Chain A
Amino acid sequence: MNNEAFAALVDAHYAPLYRFALSLARNSSDAGDLVQQTFFIWATKGHGLRELSKAKSWLFTTLYREFLRGRRRDARATSIEDLPPADKELAAEDVDRVSRIDAALVMTALQTVDETFRAPLTLFYLEDMSYQEIAEALDVPIGTVMSRLSRGKSQLRMALERVESAGSKVLPFPDSKGASAS
């Protein structure tokens, strides 16, 4: 792949990839690293992909795998069976709430959704991928994607409510008596 084609590929996908990475990694630094790493892997391996039309799915899949590889697996090994049932029904005020708060806080709320639901939910909201493509990217059955979307949306609505009531003051160390470790 020549430089122009690679640059075009980057231009087409780096922003949604970054948004996906930011929702997973929950900080801009790691998100940027993940996106760079994904394109680096593409440059060294992925450009051999015969069908360029599959580049988008390949990039999202690779980024997700890199995220899973990089994080400490014991940190959040919650299985879906262990998770509490989602019980936040959709209400008209939920729609108004999203309109009221800014994009950064919506991302903050999304980042608090359990990782099991967060990955498919973010891909869904990026609107680039169908539920079948999300299932392929995350390597889960289609029914599982639908289930996680349904429950993830409920978690997100609760998170948005919390974020709005907390205002813009998001403290990384709630127990640190005012200290912040970055």
Chain B
Amino acid sequence: MTIEEAKFILSAFRPNGSDAGSATFCDALRMAGDDPLVKAWFAQSRAHDEAVAGKLRQVKPPEGLREAILAGVRVSDRRGGKGLGWGWIAGLAAAAALVIGFFSVRAPARPESGATALAGFAITDMVTERHGGTGEPASALVVGLQAKAGKMPSAEQIDFERLRDTGCRTLNFAGHDVLEVCFSREGAEYHFYVTRRDGPLGNSVTKGPTFVAEAAGAAAVWSDTRFDYALATTAGVEALRRLL
């Protein structure tokens, strides 16, 4: 066995030593004991691997994920688990987690059920997820959203398919695509969501903005001829009103 072969095999040796009894590593480990070059390399390699593994162990799942998993399966059990898209189940679970996790505060208007669902989805996503996305169309959309005094985009300004296909962050809500970008304006961060009008909510979202406030954040929901929109922020309803 050459030094390079030994290094190659030892690259698969887990830093916690779980593979010490594996015959595959026997010769390479022996070489690491005998050859000073391999020994030094292996010590450094394990130290590096241990450090990386330790850092990865520090990455915590988002709060509520465990509850969402359990709630999602319970929901699907009750619904028979068939004919439901996963996104809907996840949405219900996330909504359930929100209900459990946050105190609701009085909403400034009594929203319709479709608006509530989309607003809840947006707020949940905003507070529980780390966002990301790519693509020039999405960047252009963000630039427009960030423009001072700019209004929210309308249907003519949104090429839904192009945004989605070029890497704009795409979520699943009740089996339908929802695009999301985040932007900041005047020091507040906002999350803008758009889904097709013929999507999960049908025509249940009214044209004018409906505001929903939760302890975790607020969302405005409105629609036009082609799309349903949601705008969510942790800066409160008044911050939303200023943009609409």
Query: A14 and B66 in contact (CB under 8 A), knowing A90-B41, A107-B56?
Result: yes
Query: A176 and B60 in contact (CB under 8 A), knowing A29-B130, A39-B73?
Result: no
Instruction: Enumerate A1-47 residues with CB–CB distance to B below 8 Å.
Output: 6-7, 10-11, 14-15, 18-19, 22, 26-29, 32-33, 35-37, 39-40, 43-44
Query: A99 and B51 in contact (CB under 8 A), knowing A33-B90, A127-B16?
Result: yes
Instruction: Enumerate A102-137 residues with CB–CB distance to B below 8 Å.
Output: 102-104, 106-107, 110, 122, 124-127, 130-131
Q: Distance in Å from the Cβ of B10 to the closest Cβ of chain A?
A: 9
CB-nearest residue of chain A to B129: A29
Most A CB atoms within 10 A — which of B41, B61, B135, B171? B61
Most B CB atoms within 10 A — which of A94, A103, A153, A182? A182
Interface status of B191 (Cβ within 8 A of chain A): yes
**A-side contacts of B11, CB under 8 Å:** 146, 149-150, 153
Q: Is the interface of A mostly helix, strand, loop or mixed?
A: helix
Interface status of A141 (Cβ within 8 A of chain B): no
Q: Is B65 a contact partner of A43 (Cβ separation < 8 A)?
A: no
Query: Quick one: which of A91, A146, A172 contacts B9, CB cutoff 8 A?
Result: A146
Q: Distance in Å from the Cβ of A6 to the closest Cβ of chain B?
A: 7
User: A175–B66 Cα gap in the complex (Å)?
Assistant: 37
User: A102–B134 Cα gap in the complex (Å)?
Assistant: 25
Q: Is B130 a contact partner of A28 (Cβ separation < 8 A)?
A: yes
- B129-140 Cβ-contact flags toward A at 8 Å (1 or 0): 111111110110
Query: A124 and B138 in contact (CB under 8 A), knowing A33-B90, A180-B183?
Result: no
Q: Is B47 a contact partner of A95 (Cβ separation < 8 A)?
A: yes
Query: Quick one: which of B86, B133, B141, B146 contacts A40, CB cutoff 8 A?
Result: B86
Interface status of A156 (Cβ within 8 A of chain B): yes
**A-side contacts of B65, CB under 8 Å:** 14, 18, 32, 35-36
Q: Is B62 a contact partner of A172 (Cβ separation < 8 A)?
A: no
**A-side contacts of B181, CB under 8 Å:** 181-182
**A-side contacts of B7, CB under 8 Å:** 150
Interface status of B14 (Cβ within 8 A of chain A): yes
Q: Is A104 a contact partner of B59 (Cβ separation < 8 A)?
A: yes
Q: Distance in Å from the Cβ of A43 to the closest Cβ of chain B?
A: 4
Q: Is B90 a contact partner of A182 (Cβ separation < 8 A)?
A: no
Q: Distance in Å from the Cβ of A17 to the closest Cβ of chain B?
A: 9
User: A146–B11 Cα gap in the complex (Å)?
Assistant: 7
Q: Distance in Å from the Cβ of B203 to the closest Cβ of chain A?
A: 27
**B-side contacts of A146, CB under 8 Å:** 8-9, 11-12
Interface status of A177 (Cβ within 8 A of chain B): yes
CB-nearest residue of chain B to A29: B129
User: A181–B131 Cα gap in the complex (Å)?
Assistant: 8
CB-nearest residue of chain B to A145: B12
User: A43–B73 Cα gap in the complex (Å)?
Assistant: 7
Q: Distance in Å from the Cβ of B212 to the closest Cβ of chain A?
A: 20
Interface status of B205 (Cβ within 8 A of chain A): no
Interface status of B15 (Cβ within 8 A of chain A): yes
Instruction: Enumerate A124-182 residues with CB–CB distance to B below 8 Å.
Output: 124-127, 130-131, 145-147, 149-150, 153, 156-157, 172-173, 175-177, 179-182
User: A147–B138 Cα gap in the complex (Å)?
Assistant: 37
Q: Is A173 a contact partner of B56 (Cβ separation < 8 A)?
A: no
27 contacts between A and B (CB under 8 A): A10-B69, A10-B70, A22-B59, A32-B65, A33-B86, A39-B72, A44-B76, A44-B81, A90-B45, A110-B52, A110-B56, A124-B14, A125-B53, A130-B18, A130-B22, A131-B24, A147-B8, A172-B133, A173-B134, A175-B139, A176-B136, A179-B139, A179-B142, A181-B168, A181-B169, A181-B181, A182-B180
